[in-house]
Amino acid sequence: MELESRKENVQIVKQLVQQITDSIQKVIVGKSETIELLLISMICRGHILLEDVPGIGKTTLAKSLAQSLGSSFSRIQCTPDLMPNDVLGFNFFNQKNGSFEFRPGPIFNQIVLVDEINRATPRTQSALLESMQEFQVTIDGKTEQLPSPFTIIATQNPIEMEGTFPLPEAQLDRFFVRLSLGYPSKEEENELFNRSDNNYLFETITPITNSQEIINLQNIHKSIKVTKEIKNYIIKIISATRDEEDIVLGASPRASLDLYKACQAKAAVNARDFVIPDDVKALAPHILAHRIGISLNAQIKERTSGQIINKILESIEIPIDTDYK
């Protein structure tokens, strides 16, 4: 009975994710893989770091996602003079009733786009840490719960570094996944000409789901089966990041757990109630690359963290001939 229930649940997940993807693609041309990774992260209650050059469609993607989910949305444009209270909110004295009242900041929305996060000062960046990990904020000693579901989508330009404050390792580790939209193909760019009126296209997006259904999705993936062989495969990959000579900061236990959860979600999105090695291989670069620190020698040789993760994946034997079900 439990097996049948799992199979029914993953079919529901696949159908809903496909409907959300189709809705987003009314505005975003192509990018199915990126959209899937975005939704996998949301299913796992994770936060997303979008790294790309300007004009690629990062803001458009976040807005179309929020509209498709029927979620509340806010955008925070980061600048060096942005203060923590501008993000979190503040208490003010109401002269009418003679008491202090809390005025929530833009962080109190279900999907929050933090644009150019590396232009905010470390003090403001650190204000996001509690919200990302605990789904709450503390202001003047009082804890305020954030809405559920809650997701931060932060963007940064990897090319322009002047006047920026690079994210510290502690904050990078709190991002579930790092994504890049990349430039469109010639065919996709041609299609963009036919969709030049974004305001009109946004009007065509109607909510596919609601907050409660998203919360249900976040619970369904936990029942996806992960065999001992798959768990050991994940552990070997994580351990290899800690022993690799090109890496000075290996993947954390949080990274290991996030990769595990992401594999469960990817299986559910593909209507499977069990994880396979291909899930791990496909997700590892997106989950791990931004969390590791590469050595100076690797930087001199112009090796990227993504290349090093792929090298590790190639060096580890894939578990085969196993009944993953």
What digits encode the pLDDT tens for the residues 173-207? 999 999 988 887 888 888 777 766 656 566 677 78
Report yes or no: 155 and 54 within 8 Å, Cβ to Cβ: no
φ/ψ of 162, rounded to 5, equals -65, 130
**Is residue 324 scored above 50 in pLDDT?**
yes
Q: Where in the chain is the domain with CATH 1.10.8.80?
A: 224-325
Whole-number Å distance between alpha carbons of 70 and 207:
5
Angle at 272 between CA 231 and CA 17, to 5 degrees: 115
pLDDT for residue 325: 63
As a whole number, mean pLDDT of residues 134-146 equals: 86
Task: Report the CATH superfamily, name and number, of domain 224-325.
Answer: Magnesium chelatase subunit I, C-Terminal domain (1.10.8.80)
Task: Return the residue matching tokens 């409660």.
Answer: 212
Task: Indicate the average pLDDT of the chain.
Answer: 86
Q: Where are the alpha helices (DSSP H) in the chain?
A: 2-24, 32-43, 58-69, 84-88, 122-134, 169-172, 186-193, 198-203, 211-220, 228-243, 253-269, 277-288, 296-300, 305-315
pLDDT for residue 321: 60
**Is residue 153 scored above 70 in pLDDT?**
yes
**Is residue 40 scored above 90 in pLDDT?**
yes
**Is residue 1 scored above 50 in pLDDT?**
no
**Is residue 295 scored above 60 in pLDDT?**
yes
**Is residue 99 scored above 70 in pLDDT?**
yes
Percent of the chain predicted with pLDDT > 70: 94
- 224 or 320: which leads in pLDDT: 224
Per CATH, domain 2-222 is 3.40.50.300: yes
Of 79-83, 100-104, 304-308, the poorest mean pLDDT is in 100-104
Decide: pTM greater than 0.95. Answer: no
Whole-number Å distance between alpha carbons of 233 and 277:
8
Whole-number Å distance between alpha carbons of 243 and 241:
6
pLDDT in tens, 3-30: 557 677 888 888 888 998 888 888 888 7
Q: Where in the chain is the domain with CATH 3.40.50.300?
A: 2-222
Rounded to an integer, what is the distance from CA 215 to the centroid of its chain?
Answer: 16
